[in-house]
Amino acid sequence: MTSSEERLATIRGGVPPRRHNARTIAALTGNPGCTRRAVLDGAGVDKPLLAERIGFPAGFGQSRFAITRGNAFEAQVKADGGTELLRLVAERLGVPVPATASWTDLGHGDDPAGRERRSAALLAAALPTAGSAAAVFAAPDVAAAPAAPDVAAAPDVAGAPDVAGASGAAASEDGGTGEPAAALFDHPLLGLEVAGRRVHLEPDLVAARLGGRFHVVEIKSFPVIDGQADPAKLAAAAVQSAVYVLALRELLAAYGHDPQLVSHEVVLVCPRDFANQPVAHLLDVRKQLLVVRRQLDRMARLDTLLAAVPADFTADPAADPATLVGSLSQVPARYAPDCLASCELAYFCRHEARGQTGTLGRPVREALGGITDVAEVLALAGGERVADPERAQAAALLRAAARLRADALGGVPA
Amino acid sequence: MSTLRALAAAQAVAAGAAQPVATVRHLHLSRRPLVLVPLAMAGEANAPLAAMVGAAPGEGRLLIVPQPRNRDQRFAFAAELAATVLPYLAGHRGATEAVAVDRGRDVRYRYLDAPQLLVPNPAGVTFLRLLGRSTRFRRVDGEYPVPPEVPLLGRWLTFFAERAEHPGSSALLAMTQALTLHWATGQSAVEDLHLPALLGWIAPPAGLTGAGAAARAEDPSVCPPAGPATDPGFDNRLLAPAVEAYAAAGDDEAARVEAYARLERLLRDQLTPTWDLMWRGLGLLRALPPGARVAGRWDGDRDAFTAQSEHIDEGGAPQPRRDGAVAAAARLHRLERAAATYAVQRAYDDPLVLAEYRLTGEAFVGEVVLADPARVDDSGRRPVLRPRIQLVTTEPVLVPVGASLCSPARPGQKARVVFVTPTADGKTEVVLELSGGMGRGLTATPGSVPEVGQRLCYTTLSEAYVPSGAFPAVEETPWTHGGPPDVGPAAVADGAPPPEPEPDEAWA
Ligand code: SF4
């Protein structure tokens, strides 16, 4: 253990760190400027439990109905072993639908490390060796790729069930053109470093060798009605998918391949309109990639953040609530109403920030001349003398606003 | 966000109670609005779970869908909802009035009253829009026939959802938006979307501050969410077992009746608090006096209701899934015009709204210090009456010389800015030249020119009529916008699918 790791373990208390997943990593981008959150999430603190211990339980439940529906839709989309999915993805990418494709189920097996190794080897071996991508990137012969452990370095999927109705031999070549057949990987296990710890990530599907690229495929059960989806759900899906793209790119880079072989376009499969019929959409996640990358880099430099955290800082849920509150208040937070949807500590931080204009939202704070304290806003509006010349303008505005409000409410004729 | 509204929010924090941001009511309230509180099934595409609907506090009808994933039950729900909504709408198709059109050369008729729908929040509006979308194309024949009321309900819900996008319309209102138009709370805009918390700030129960009431309202076990989304805890702990029990009852009539009653009880408990809050919110809004221009905007809603009724009577088609290029551009133009008019009207109706423009220098209030009501301008071909007045104001004046101003107190009179002169004591002198609203001769009718000593507001906001833009006919859609849409036999002959809609689109 490095000293940082020890430090984080102490902060968290005698419990193992909470596992991150794509959703929690996506949530990290919610309030990137918040040190409190970076430290707590970096240490893998059980924030829901912590919030409960300090008397501000979070309300982040998920309905069983939503979970069931999500699983049922994914199962339905994959039910035929990927034939329909292959068609949807290929058509959306604008490439001819391959007659066959291999299908590899990587979703099983109990040992995550083993699963990750197996997924990595198979994915790295599924390089698009033909087509446009090979032209722009001199892809090394698959067999020559850096030692892929545990698996025969063959372009076809060793031991994978061949579900597309083709024979094992046909699966590796498409229609005798010599091009390696498309390959679909069901629930591969990817890895990403978050604050120095390896986090396992499980995308719904990765499609290889379609349009000369790897594509992350996400299956979501929210509907796209007349071409429009719920913007909040779409935004969340984009950030999560970006996390997978990043993990897949790092995997390729680790094998010495060009990470850009993973497309920044994610294929989102959703039910169409009010039916269960799946339909594929492309999501450009370039912006989200930058945001996630930036936040992961920040988490990777946790030492810097930790340097400013008091030595006795603890977020161990077993500690006394008063101690926890005292401890938390020593690490600066940056509460904003957005926290309510993205961080389990929101009710606590909101309570702590009461009386500050930031709790009302950024537009309100800006309209108040950027003054952070409600009491100060009201004092200035009431005509109190301004000591700080930088506030003179805000003070004049607030005074005028207060006078106009009082006039209008007092019935002074306009 | 205007500084004036932000200041009200800051005052709300300090006072622990919401603060008014309007002195009059800026929306129309029907004597008998239809309140509709919908609940949706989590995870499904706008699948109704339950609703409470009615036009009076004691008339709330509870509709439930015991198996929300069952498509027949969904349409049965739509039919039941139609059984309340359609008679309510029909009840407004009574007496009409004649309205002169085409400069009095013609008349058209409109209903004296129009229906009004109230839902708790914007998500409720979206729910109705999608329910309208999922039902208006349903076929009454063929493989999955539905009762004729179902597509008819869909067309009306679509109508209301479209009106809700029209600034200043009161045909379909979200209670949270109606309330925040008149009050500022000490919480953020996202938190204001939660009706119980919002009403907690505006009218806290005895013994609680607004902030305290809002905090209490955040506990879903104390205060169920106002929908359409349900509380996940409720779903997992109470609803799921009850739905399962109903499904398990199967053909066992006694068990089914009991399971249905249990579901009904659960859903009623979730809906009743919101139902009560809706009427409380309505009461608060009713207590405000209506703005002078509210009735004029409601005329627009009555026109729209009349037009939609006639369209359906004449066998017109349901609203398309998507507007064509010309229709979309025309609609956008209409909405922009409505937004501009609505902003001006609110400012004219309400000194507190007008104050926002005074703060930014687009309006000022001053005292008349000089007046020359008899001034005649004879430099042109004919002499014209052009009185001048001079005002002194302490407010910022950011209007250029030559600009045309109006006073909300005298909307028929124009005032051209002649001089703007800052004075030594920090005030501003403004000289205005008046035209219009003073009678026909060269002498102003008494009282039509402001007198010395009067305090008046002048602003760049104008109610003057702006002619609407011209758009090509649909058949003349320019090629840059996709050209005229294919219609009728030609498209079918091409083997292209008919544009509207896929009749078998399953809702399952
Ligand atoms: S809720 Fe608190 S800890 Fe979480 S991101 Fe917001 S300010 Fe930071």
pLDDT band for position B298 (cuts 50, 70, 90): very high
pLDDT band for position B396 (cuts 50, 70, 90): confident
Residue A115: predicted pLDDT: 84
Q: Residue B363: is its pLDDT beyond 90?
A: yes
Residue A335: predicted pLDDT: 95
Three-state DSSP at A205 gives strand
Mean pLDDT, chain B, whole residue set: 90
Position B275: which residue type?
Answer: W
Mutation choice for B interface testing from A62, A220, A272, A273 by most B CBs within 10 A: A273
Q: Could you tell me what percent of chain B has a pLDDT over 90?
A: 70
Residue B386: predicted pLDDT: 94
Average of pLDDT values for B308-325?
Answer: 90
Beta-carbon separation of A363 and B1 below 8 A: yes
Greatest Cα pair distance, chain B, in angstroms, is: 96
Q: How many CB pairs under 8 A join A and B?
A: 162
Q: CB within 8 A of B364, min separation 6: which ones?
A: B358, B393, B395, B396, B397, B428, B430, B457, B458, B459
Three-state DSSP at A222 gives coil
How far is it, in rounded angstroms, from Cα B39 to Cα B264?
A: 13
pLDDT band for position B120 (cuts 50, 70, 90): very high
pLDDT band for position B492 (cuts 50, 70, 90): very low
pLDDT band for position B141 (cuts 50, 70, 90): confident
Q: CB within 8 A of B166, min separation 6: which ones?
A: B300, B304, B334, B335, B338
Tally of helices (H runs) and strands (E runs) in chain B? 15, 17
Give pLDDT < 50 ranges for chain A: 130-176, 414
Q: Residue B156: is its pLDDT beyond 60?
A: yes
**A169 part of contact set with chain B, CB < 8 Å:** no
Q: Could you tell me the two tokens for A355? A: 């009386």
Q: Residue B14: is its pLDDT beyond 70?
A: yes
Q: Residue B284: is its pLDDT beyond 70?
A: yes
| Range with lowest mean pLDDT among A143-152, B23-32, B257-266 | A143-152
Place of tokens 């996709």: B482
ipTM for the complex shown:
0.85
pLDDT band for position B467 (cuts 50, 70, 90): low
How far is it, in rounded angstroms, from Cα A414 to Cα A400?
A: 15
Q: CB within 8 A of B71, min separation 6: which ones?
A: B144, B506, B507, B508
Q: Could you tell me what percent of chain B has a pLDDT over 70?
A: 92
* pTM of the complete model: 0.87
- Torsions phi, psi of A269, nearest 5? -110, 120
**A113 part of contact set with chain B, CB < 8 Å:** no
**Fold annotation for B351-459:** Elongation Factor Tu (Ef-tu); domain 3 (2.40.30)
Q: How far is B394 from chain A (nearest CA, A)?
A: 10
Testing ligand 1's pocket by substitution, the residue of A28, A40, A335, A356 carrying the most ligand atoms inside 8 A of its CB is A335
Residue of minimum CA distance from atom 7 in ligand 1: A335
A374-381 and B3-15 helices, crossing angle to 10°: 110
Residue B236: predicted pLDDT: 94
pLDDT band for position B499 (cuts 50, 70, 90): very low
CA geometry: angle B273, B276, B277, nearest 5 deg: 85
Find the helix or strand (DSSP H, E) in which A267 lies: strand A265-271
Q: Which of B8, B10, B45 sits opposite A271 (nearest CB)?
A: B45
pLDDT band for position B183 (cuts 50, 70, 90): very high
Annotated domain spans of chain B: 3-288+303-316, 351-459, 472-508
pLDDT tens digits for B412-454? Answer: 899 999 999 999 888 999 999 999 889 888 888 888 899 999 9
Contact B140, B148 (CB under 8 A): yes
- Torsions phi, psi of A410, nearest 5? -85, 0
Q: CB within 8 A of B96, min separation 6: which ones?
A: B109, B110, B111, B112, B306
Kindly tell me the burial class for residue A150, based on how many C-beta atoms sit within 10 Å of its own C-beta (0-12, 13-18, 19 or more): exposed
**A273 part of contact set with chain B, CB < 8 Å:** yes
Contact list in B for residue A412 (CB cut-off 8 A) is: 351
CA geometry: angle A284, A285, A289, nearest 5 deg: 155
**A389 part of contact set with chain B, CB < 8 Å:** no
Testing ligand 1's pocket by substitution, the residue of A11, A34, A356, A359 carrying the most ligand atoms inside 8 A of its CB is A34
Q: Which long-range contacts (CB under 8 A, 24 or more apart) does A153-159 make?
A: A153/A121, A153/A125, A154/A125, A155/A125, A155/A126, A155/A127, A155/A129, A155/A180, A156/A102, A156/A180, A156/A181, A157/A102, A157/A104, A157/A122, A157/A126, A157/A183, A158/A122
Buried-state track A234-255, b at ≥16 Cβ within 10 A, e below 16 = bebbbbbbbbbbbbbbbbbeeb
Residue B489: predicted pLDDT: 40
Contact list in A for residue B41 (CB cut-off 8 A) is: 65
Beta-carbon separation of A409 and B352 below 8 A: yes
Contact B84, B66 (CB under 8 A): no
How far is it, in rounded angstroms, from Cα B349 to Cα B451?
A: 23
Three-state DSSP at B384 gives strand
Residue B485: predicted pLDDT: 63
DSSP 8-state secondary structure symbol assigned to residue B239: I
Residue B175: predicted pLDDT: 98
- Nearest to A295, CA basis, from A39, A4, A28, A22: A28
Contact list in A for residue B6 (CB cut-off 8 A) is: 357, 360, 363-365, 367-368
More confident residue, A19 or B172: B172
